[in-house]
Amino acid sequence: MSSSSFVVRRARTADVPGIAALVEPLVQKRILLGKDLVVFYESIQEFVIAEDADGELIGCGALHVIWEDIGEVRTLAVRESSLRRGVGRALLTRLEEEAAELGLTRLFCLTFETEFFGRNGFLPIGEQVVPPEVYAELVRSSDEGVAEFLDLARVKPNTLGNTRMLKLLS
């Protein structure tokens, strides 16, 4: 996907330092959880990035599969100087396309940016979002994002104030 001023593409390992630098100010503001470089490298196949006409990284986002029909939008970030240019929307659109290709029908996010995600079809969710038998399988995951999706007590100190949101894909 491209705009006249930026392009969205699959991330490469060479993008990891730029992704980490892009995310760091949001970690400092406690908007995103911090991740070690090794975590970014381990999950690089989940990321897409936006770069401007000069090849500078201006945004990123990741899609993480949680279950057979559910994925999570993770680490969606846009450089402050590039906000309100459609970068976040373009990244989210690409992640939704990838989710559909994988056969996912629902996308989850944990966010402070409820207006942005709300404008893009996400709605706040309550407690029961999967059947009990799926919950019993998911609760075995060591992934913090899955724990956030399930709203487990052990992640609440890290996510205080965030809103759990879900979108049904068509």
pLDDT tens digits, one per residue of 55-107:
999 999 999 998 899 999 999 999 999 999 999 999 999 999 999 999 999 99
Q: d(Cα 34, Cα 25) in Å, to the nearest integer?
A: 10
Give a yes or no: residue 150 inside a domain.
Answer: yes
* pLDDT-derived band at 46, boundaries 50, 70, 90: very high
Give a yes or no: residue 33 inside a domain.
Answer: yes
Residue 100 is predicted with a pLDDT of 97
Residue 143 is predicted with a pLDDT of 72
Give a yes or no: residue 2 inside a domain.
Answer: no
pLDDT of 3 strictly over 60: no
- List, in order, residues 6 or more apart from 47 with CB less than 8 Å away: 10, 11, 15, 19, 40, 60, 61, 62, 75
* pLDDT-derived band at 137, boundaries 50, 70, 90: confident
Give a yes or no: residue 152 inside a domain.
Answer: yes
Q: How many structural domains comprise the chain?
A: 1
The first and second tokens of residue 84, run together, are 């309100």
Please give the DSSP secondary-structure letter assigned to residue 100. H
- Domain span at residue 133 reads 7-168
Mean of the per-residue pLDDT values of the chain: 87
Give a yes or no: residue 126 inside a domain.
Answer: yes
Q: What is the pTM of this model?
A: 0.85
Check which CATH number belongs to the domain holding 111 and give it.
Answer: 3.40.630.30
